[in-house]
Amino acid sequence: MDKLRIRGGRELAGTVRIAGAKNAALPALAAALLTEGEVTFANVPMLRDVRTMLRVLEHHGARVENGSRDSVTVQAGSIASHEAPYDLVKTMRASVLVLGPLLARCGRARVSMPGGCAIGERPIDIHLDALANMGAEVRLEHGYVEARAKRLKPADYTFPLVTVTGTENLMMAAALTEGTSVFRNCAREPEVVDLAVLLRAMGAEVDGDGTEVIRITGRRELGGAEHTVIPDRVEAATYLMAGALACRRLEVADCRPQDLKAVLALLESAGVPLTAGETSIVVARPEKLVAVDVATAPHPGFPTDMQAQYMALATQARGVSRITETIFESRFMHVSELRRLGARINVEGQTAEVTGPAALAGAQVMATDLRASASLVLAGLVADGVTVIDRVYHLDRGYEPMEVKLGALGASVERVK
């Protein structure tokens, strides 16, 4: 298993280019199952989870062709298998995104239950309830979801809680269902909007994406399309935190500042100087970092995917930052690892109280989930001495090689096989 060795204390500077969004690419790739036409994607991030999704699509019979650096073409001319097997789904729970497309395309789907992960139980009960509302017969047996629907019917459904992939699964199912479906209490994430852009390009009528009510008039058949994946707002925000921690001046390029309003507001209130342009943001380490409280929330609130990274920054802020996680029940796995580096954090229920500034010292730490690993990299940049992060495959799931991007800014980060 690879490790990252970081020698902290360097002052970084330069430009980092943001890749396409993992959480936009995954549903968009799954949507290619909705048509026998060819779908060509650009700005696809080269990540472990994207490679896994491409393998899932090939498993279902799609032809996958990698184009230039960040483009890929998928054509699901026919569906060879309507079953998403356990060994694929267990490596990436986002494989459940094939459920809606398979059900709409073939009238049946057999998808392994994803199982929990480090940040929580992460059920898909709402996905299933909503599909049942569209006329699917859904049964759970031997750890698999068995769903059948001779023909899905349009529905008017209210999500009992905001679910990103739940919204996306139902949008895809409705896009290939004749008639108009209305979904209420939908997720409003930019990645949901990006999926709507693709579904419209494939021929479905989609309105209200980005708001809590989405109306979709589906078709019997959808066509191929070309689609450019939006930039990854979580990667961009992660590098903004790196900038606030360790950079004389950092330009975060090829991003979409409009997707980052809550993150930019939080950083500004913490005293971080930021200048946002059309497609880039310039950030620098402030003289004085101030403690600011934050609670995660569905978009446009502060993203749960940035909670761990903000915690690393908060260890250097003057005062007590109270960080409350409202989306997942156990997304504080990074706390014990940050403590090993010298962070002063006290957890009360869903709130972590971070007291700073704390002098961090390098140590052996272990990554537990994707964003927790990013938090440890950020802390390693400012820890005195060497930090070695184990189980770096978590990081590789969602970030293009950080040692390359950080190294280009002057950081001492090396990957140890």
The single residue listed with the structure tokens 């970081």 is: 6
Nearer to ligand EPZ, 186 or 291 (CB): 186
Q: In what order do the strands lie in the sheet with 351-356?
A: 294-295, 319-324, 351-356, 344-348
Task: Please provide residue 341's backbone torsions phi and psi, each rounded to the nearest 5 degrees.
Answer: -90, -5
CB atoms within 10 A of CB 175: 29
Does 238 bind ligand EPZ (CB under 6 A)? Our answer is: no
DSSP-derived secondary structure letter, 12: E
Does 120 bind ligand EPZ (CB under 6 A)? Our answer is: yes
What interhelical angle do 307-314 and 233-246 show, nearest 10?
0
328 and 307 Cβ atoms separated by less than 8 Å: no
Task: Give the SS3 label for residue 375.
Answer: helix
Nearer to ligand EPZ, 366 or 372 (CB): 372
- For 224-260, the three-class secondary structure string (H helix, E strand, C coil) is CEEEECCECHHHHHHHHHHHHHHEEEEEEECCCHHHC
- Segment contacting ligand EPZ by CB under 6 A, of 61-69, 122-130, 146-154, 354-362: 122-130
Cα distances (angstroms) measured from residue 116 to each of 123, 309, 370: 7, 22, 14
Nearer to ligand EPZ, 110 or 371 (CB): 371
Least distance CB 370 / ligand EPZ (angstroms)? 5
- Segment contacting ligand EPZ by CB under 6 A, of 22-30, 105-113, 214-222, 267-275: 22-30
Cα distances (angstroms) measured from residue 114 to each of 79, 119, 125, 131, 355: 21, 13, 11, 17, 37
Nearer to ligand EPZ, 166 or 362 (CB): 166
Does 371 bind ligand EPZ (CB under 6 A)? Our answer is: yes
The alpha carbon of 232 is separated from its chain's Cα centroid by a whole number of angstroms, namely 8
Radius of gyration of the chain (CA): 21
Answer for which of 105, 127, 285, 405 binds ligand EPZ (CB under 6 A) is 127
Task: Look up 117 and say whether it is catalytic.
Answer: yes
93 and 56 Cβ atoms separated by less than 8 Å: no
**Residues 322-341 close enough to bind ligand EPZ by CB under 6 A:** 327-328
- Segment contacting ligand EPZ by CB under 6 A, of 20-28, 224-232, 354-362, 372-380: 20-28
Nearer to ligand EPZ, 35 or 304 (CB): 304
Does 113 bind ligand EPZ (CB under 6 A)? Our answer is: no
Least distance CB 318 / ligand EPZ (angstroms)? 29
Nearer to ligand EPZ, 227 or 371 (CB): 371
Does 260 bind ligand EPZ (CB under 6 A)? Our answer is: no
Does 193 bind ligand EPZ (CB under 6 A)? Our answer is: no
Least distance CB 171 / ligand EPZ (angstroms)? 13
Does 306 bind ligand EPZ (CB under 6 A)? Our answer is: no
Catalytic one among 106, 117, 247, 255? 117
Residues that bind ligand EPZ (CB under 6 A): 22-23, 26, 94, 120, 122-127, 161, 163-166, 304-305, 327-328, 370-371, 398
> Which residues are known catalytic residues?
117
